[in-house]
Amino acid sequence: MPTKTEIEIKKNGNPFGSHRVIEPKGVLTQPATKIDNNMDYMWDNEILVEVETLNIDSASFTQLKKEANNDEEKIKAAITKIVGEKGKMQNPVTGSGGMFRGRVLKIGPALKGKVSIKEGDKIASLVSLSLTPLKIEKVLGIKKGTEQVSVVAKAILFESGIYAKLPADMPETLALAVLDVAGAPAQTAKLVRPGNTVVIIGAAGKSGVLCCYEARRRAGITGRIIGITSSDSGLAKMKEYGFCHENFKLDATNALECYEAIKGVTGGKLADVIINCVNIQNTEMASILMCREGGIVYFFTMATSFTKAALGAEGVGKDVDMIIGNGYAKDHAEITLNILRESKQIRDIYTKLYA
């Protein structure tokens, strides 16, 4: 890899990064099958980052682990292969990516004075690895119990890309873990209203716990938060944390089982808001059936099938508003980091897992 001073600077890069697309031409980098990840040069409106950690999307990491039978060396090899072929970390099965943590090496001259960071700053990307040019020299290892992968690598952020400067008041790995799912609690804050009954699928997971906390705060004393998990360990965690009024061990791929449980506990009223945070497929119908007519279903999970959700709701005659899990919401990074600052319990939970 060349040093910072040896990097060739090209002019007039597209703000959305289309100049890095190799195939097919005419698309942006997310739907592209292959992008240019050459780090010997950069465009004048790009930011070059030395990457230390990849935080792989949960749905993607779950699929990689399953395919590799939990063999770490095979997972590392799969990540290296995907990036080598595509020029980015985009799981060919789930289509999802993740995010990274790293240090800014160079800011293109066209961006100087226009960005809030400087060379040498530590940042976390808030755009998906599925659209980010990435060049891996070596995959060092995987932090046990997490989706965090230590690497020697470089990445490019485009002019339109978003990122967060890593805070000084918490460990970088902790900040990375919560920023990876920052869109979920931020969207929860927008969707949940005082008095709402809210069902959170995957309530014991990384994004689910944050959503439970935020939903309880927004629903207030007249609201009701119901958590769903598929495991005994998850159920124990939910009860220990105490963010949910009711906790259920249910298989979210079994739509009727979930429907009957929530119908029973709500006296037939069902939920005002459903927040789906699980990383497995075929949970669309459980989400839809547990929601009341005119309610809201928020699919944060990247395992969601738009076709199954749309046609499934039609098939059962359910009129609900279904929201795609946009990982970005205005001020989502600060909203989520402030949860850790204001709640010692939440910070302790995530510190134990990720710091």
The model's confidence at residue 177, banded by pLDDT at 50, 70 and 90, is confident
pLDDT confidence of residue 3: 44
Q: Taking 50 as the threshold, does the pLDDT of residue 4 lie above it?
A: no
Residue 325 CA to residue 302 CA, distance in Å, equals: 8
- Place 353 in a pLDDT band, splitting at 50, 70 and 90: confident
23 pLDDT more than 70: yes
Give the pLDDT band of residue 298 (cuts 50, 70, 90).
very high
Would the pLDDT of 192 be above 80?
A: yes
Predicted confidence (pLDDT) at residue 105 exceeds the cutoff of 80: yes
Cα 330 from Cα 74, distance rounded (Å): 38
Q: 354 pLDDT exceeds 50?
A: yes
For range 172-196, the mean pLDDT: 92
Average pLDDT over residues 289-314: 94
Share of the chain above pLDDT 90, in %: 85
Query: Could you tell me the residue ranges of all domains in the chain?
Result: 4-166, 183-349
Q: How confident is the model at residue 180 (pLDDT cuts 50, 70, 90)?
A: confident
Q: Bigger pLDDT: 304 or 276?
A: 276
**Mean of pLDDT values over 234-247:** 96
Q: How confident is the model at residue 256 (pLDDT cuts 50, 70, 90)?
A: very high
Rounded mean pLDDT of the chain? 94
* Confidence band, pLDDT 50/70/90 cuts, at residue 225: very high
In this prediction, residue 1 carries a pLDDT of 43
Mean pLDDT in residue range 69-90:
97
HEC secondary structure over the chain: CCCHHHCEEECCCCCCCHHHEEECCCCCCCCCCEECCCCCEEECCCEEEEEEEEEECHHHHHHHHHHCCCCHHHHHHHHHHHHHHHCCCCCCCCCCCEEEEEEEEEECCCCCCCCCCCCCCEEEECCCHHHCCEEEEEEEEECCCCCEEEEEEEEEECCCCCEEECCCCCCHHHHHHHHCCCHHHHHHHHHCCCCCEEEEECCCCHHHHHHHHHHHHHHCCCCEEEEEECCHHHHHHHHHHCCCCEEEECCCCCHHHHHHHHHHHCCCCCEEEEEECCCCCCCHHHHHHCEEEEEEEEECCCCCCHHHHHHHHHHCCCCCEEEECCCCCCCHHHHHHHHHHHCHHHHHHHHHHHC
Task: Kindly report the CATH number that applies to the domain delimited by 183-349.
Answer: 3.40.50.720
55-64, 183-192, 194-203: range with highest mean pLDDT: 194-203
Per-residue pLDDT band for 237 (boundaries 50, 70, 90) equals very high
